[in-house]
Amino acid sequence: MAGEASRTTYEEYKETADWLLAQTSTRPQLAVICGSGLGGLTDLLSNRTEIPYEKIPRFPQSTVPGHEGKLVFGELSGKQCVFMKGRFHFYEGYPINKVTFPVRIFHLMGVKSLIVTNASGGLNEKFRVGDLMVIKDHINLPGFAGLNPLVGSNEERFGPRFPCMSDAYDQKYRQLASDSALELGYQDFFREGVYCMLTGPSYETVAECHMLKVLGADAVGMSTVPEVIIARHSGIRVFGISLITNQVVTDYSSQTKVNHQTVLRVAQERAQALQTLVAKVVEKME
């Protein structure tokens, strides 16, 4: 099959996982992927060990501002964790098995739960910049064109040929987030909604934004979905949260222009609230 020759084998994934386990005494059961400008989440960890991506066998490299490019191992609320300080995207030119490479490594290292964070544009008119949106479902728009990380021969040692995705985002974790937001007094900027992924790197046109709203999307971004698919394929439970860093443009007369600098600025401004919520959710996890 086309593209099969470039796919990573189970043995290659295992070699990288074993190499990482040899570098740290941490045996993570929880992994966290930090989105654009959200690498400060790693400040939550104690007893940290940092490993730059360039030192890890077969690991891709981050090329986007706001994604520093290192794995950080440590403890949070008594749980052993690994944090990705910088993720990978299709628009960087990586093939799909490289975008999702770390999640299969985490599975082989023993990770049972994954938290995915991202910066996204708000489609829902009730959302405001700075809102925190727990992801209840997603729309894999690239998947409609065949861009799915599970395309190709299936590796049964990771998971089944046809994994269920109706429960992609763990309902119990979402409830923990809702309870935590209430405890923290975050009700005014806490949301729940559907995340839609586009490949980027260009931001959406006005017509595209109107289409996404019709499809039922509340927020739009350029990441997250491939990692979630691979996680669920391996039986990893997922909690996802989006920081709404901008409102999408839906009016042709608008002078607003979305840019990455604004995304990073808003991420920095709301970083503390996001960190506090994530820490609270992890504390409540089994």
Mean pLDDT of 234-250: 94
For residue 67, the model assigns a pLDDT of 56
For residue 35, the model assigns a pLDDT of 82
Identify the band that residue 1 occupies on the pLDDT scale cut at 50, 70 and 90. very low
Instruction: Spell out the domains of the chain, with CATH numbers in brackets.
Output: 4-284 (3.40.50.1580)
Mean pLDDT of 235-243: 97
Name residue 136's amino acid: K
Looking only at the bridges linking them, the beta strands covering 132-140 and 190-197 are: parallel
pLDDT 10s digits, 83-107:
999 889 999 898 888 999 999 999 9
Identify the band that residue 155 occupies on the pLDDT scale cut at 50, 70 and 90. very high
Judge whether residue 182 has pLDDT over 90: yes
Judge whether residue 234 has pLDDT over 60: yes
pLDDT 10s digits, 10-41:
999 999 999 999 999 999 999 999 986 677 88
Identify the band that residue 156 occupies on the pLDDT scale cut at 50, 70 and 90. very high
For residue 170, the model assigns a pLDDT of 98
* Whole-angstrom distance, CA of residue 244 vs CA of residue 63: 22
Looking only at the bridges linking them, the beta strands covering 30-34 and 113-122 are: parallel
Name residue 87's amino acid: R
- Residues with a catalytic annotation lie at 36, 67, 89, 91-92, 119, 222-223, 246, 260
Percent of the chain exceeding pLDDT 70 equals: 96
CA-nearest of 219, 217, 165, 226 to 199 is 226
Judge whether residue 5 has pLDDT over 50: no
Which residue has better confidence, 253 or 142?
142
For residue 2, the model assigns a pLDDT of 41
For residue 254, the model assigns a pLDDT of 82
Q: Nearest 5 degrees, angle CA 216-CA 189-CA 195?
A: 25
Decide: 117 and 243 in contact? Cβ < 8 Å: yes
pLDDT 10s digits, 43-52:
889 999 999 9
Mean pLDDT of 191-195: 98
In sequence order, the 6+-apart residues with CB closer than 8 A to the CB of 22 are none
* Whole-angstrom distance, CA of residue 283 vs CA of residue 286: 8
Average pLDDT along the chain: 92
Identify the band that residue 66 occupies on the pLDDT scale cut at 50, 70 and 90. low
Angstrom CA distances, 188 to 69, 163, 195, 222, stand at: 33, 36, 20, 26
Judge whether residue 224 has pLDDT over 80: yes
* Whole-angstrom distance, CA of residue 278 vs CA of residue 264: 19
For residue 174, the model assigns a pLDDT of 98
Please tell me whether the peptide bond between 201 and the residue prior to it is cis, using omega within 30 degrees of 0: yes
For residue 65, the model assigns a pLDDT of 65
